Chain A
Amino acid sequence: MDIEFTVNRKKERLTVQPADTLLHLLREQLLLTGTKEGCGTGQCGACTVLLDGRAVNACLVLAADLEGKEVWTIEGLADGENLHPLQQAFIDHYALQCGFCTPGMIMEALALLRQNPKPTQEEIKESIKGNICRCTGYTRIVEAIQAVAEKGGSL
């Protein structure tokens, strides 16, 4: 079947199987490999992307549900050489080590800050509950997100 949807502002028309997941379309057809596959069962959050503005696990979204939808991935955040404030904050706050969870963490944080620009520390923790990090630990990640929130500005 053919579907049309938007990825990072760009219209994409793809021939897909109904059983393809959004994650596989992103990584293997569109070669946007920033989005990671962790567990593949919706428990780790590594594949988090924005679907019509909401954070979702790309590994559980079927191609069948993408027609006309708008997807944002980690590749859509930087403006040329200029990193997105969340990306810069994760570097400045040493909020990553291996980096595998980082794209998902940042997309979840982006969804949070767009909806709630001044979250409390508790609200940040609540938001990233679906994202597992196995090396940095969560403290620096929360600090990075908090720093972006304090700075304000449009994201």
Chain B
Amino acid sequence: MYEGIVQELIDELGRLPGIGPKSAQRIAFHILQTEAFDVSRLAEVLVEVREKVRFCEVCGNVTEQERCAICRDPRRSAATICVVEEAKDVAAIERTREFKGLYHVLGGAISPIDGVGPEDLRIRQLMERLADGTVTEVIIATDPNLEGEATASYLSRLLVQPNLRVTRLASGLPVGGDLEYADEVTLGRAFEGRRVVQG
């Protein structure tokens, strides 16, 4: 425990996701001791980000305008929507440059333990986007964990409608790695989830 304001800083930093007490302490002392560290710039950005950034009216991605850059881009195909849990997943998929359609950010996954049910996710907004028949494929790209799978299967029941294809991202072995170094759990799962490629 440190005195007063120093401990308060450590406590506040420790509330951030992914930052434990040790890292919080390390960051706090970096801020205190490093002269080159521009505290007022950080403070400004923190305030600004709260004021300026909001969520895209259409897809729920982060943006500084009513609609995000992806939704505004006329070159993107409006026929495909990729459904993800968080805005950071949009960024991850964008980095692949593989996908040319639009996104829909749910804002989480179904998880009773965390008090999240379907009504807490942006599912109603998704259904509205599908109403006029422009969209012909929904790709469900929720996380490949239990809650992500549960959300995917809830959605796939809900999204049964004519002329709509619903697909799920394949999960399995990490690419770029060697098969022999994949751990047995991942490798075992990959076997379970194998797909037919021929015949």
A-B interaction: no
Binding site for A on B (CB under 8 A): none
